[in-house]
Each structure stands twice: as C-alpha cells, then as structure tokens.
Chain A
C-alpha cells in the first residue's frame, strides 16, 4: 500500500523536475519547485512508515514549512526585482 503511494509520489517528483528543467517561464519553474517540495515531504512521510519509524514524521513537517518559506522568499525576490527595475527605468527616463 505504502509502496504504491511511494512510487506514485516518485513519478510526480520526476514530472515536477521535468517542468523545472524545461520551464519555459520562470513561473513554471517556481511552481515546479513548490510542487517538488511538497512531494518530498509526502515521500518522507511514506518512507517513514515503510521503515516502521513513524516518529520521523517530524522531518516531513520541517520540509513542508521550509518549502513554504522558500516560496515566499521567491515572491519577495520578484517584488524587489520589479521595484528595482522600475526605479532603474525611472532614473533612465529622468536622465
């Protein structure tokens, strides 16, 4: 049972990676990374049960949290970029 789930997750991960590699837009990749993070968390949870050590669910929890912060960092990055670009544009227009 866990096995099937695990394999399914692996396949999803592979698909996410393909998207991350191919793009084409940056947003595709961001999304792919996000998906990939989620899947890793799931995989860990499943493997923890496979190993018979469910107490390792802690790890999966960490992954999920980290993943979320990562995505927010990316968003923040974009916001900074765009504001910097806007500023640059503004100075160019003035100059």
Chain B
C-alpha cells in the first residue's frame, strides 16, 4: 500500500503533465480537447485515490453484514459531477471545432490564426 500510495499520486501528476502538454503544445484543436480530457481525468484519479480506505469496500451498505469498512463516498459524488462536467465541456468544445472547420476549413490553430491576419 505504501508504494501504491505514492504510485497513484505520481500517475496523477504524470497524466496531468501529459494532458497539459497536449493542450499547450499541440496545435490541432481536437488534440487539445483530448488533452483536456486526459488533464481532467488525472484530477478524477487524484480524488478517487483519496477516497480509498484500506480493507474497505464501495460505500453501499449490505444488509446483514456488520463491521464493514466503507470507502469515502464524498469524493465519489464530487467526481461523478466532475465527469459529467468534463463531458459537457468536451461536447461543447467539439461543436465549436466543427463550426471552426466549417468557417475556416481547418482545425489547426496556427492556420486559423494566419487566416485572420490582415492581408
């Protein structure tokens, strides 16, 4: 558990880095959205990591079983919300990308930027 305790957080940090990098460095708008999704997922992982209790189980109370240890329900609730928020953002972002493609004929950031430069 010790090792895993670190490992989860490290993976969280690494995923965050990968996603963040894709958002900043990639020019393709869809790639940016994918990066954003990874970026957000990393945070979900962090929250869910902290909800775990050793020897615990999902916080659904079973009839007739006593002395069960439950993991923390609260981060789960938060992340349920956050996942839906993430999907919503992605969907809206994609809609905008589709419109950009229709008006600019490209989904590469630098090409769009160049298209609007005064000639």
Contacts and interface: CB of A to CB of B under 8 A. Distances in A.
Asked whether the complex places CB atoms of A and B closer than 8 A, the reply is yes
Interface of A: 51-53, 56
5 A-B pairs closest in CB distance = A53-B57, A51-B57, A53-B58, A56-B58, A52-B57
Interface string B50-76: 000000011000000000000000000
A56 B57 CA distance: 11
Contacts of A52: 57
A52 B58 CA distance: 11
A51 B58 CA distance: 10
B98 to A, nearest CB: 14
A69 B58 CA distance: 28
Contacts of A51: 57
Nearest to A51: B57
B46 to A, nearest CB: 21
5 contacts: A51-B57, A52-B57, A53-B57, A53-B58, A56-B58
Interface in B19-72: 57-58
A53 B57 CA distance: 9
A77 to B, nearest CB: 14
A12 to B, nearest CB: 22
B2 to A, nearest CB: 21
Contacts of A56: 58
B59 to A, nearest CB: 11
Contacts of B57: 51-53
Contacts of B58: 53, 56
A51 B57 CA distance: 8
B70 to A, nearest CB: 12
Contacts of A53: 57-58
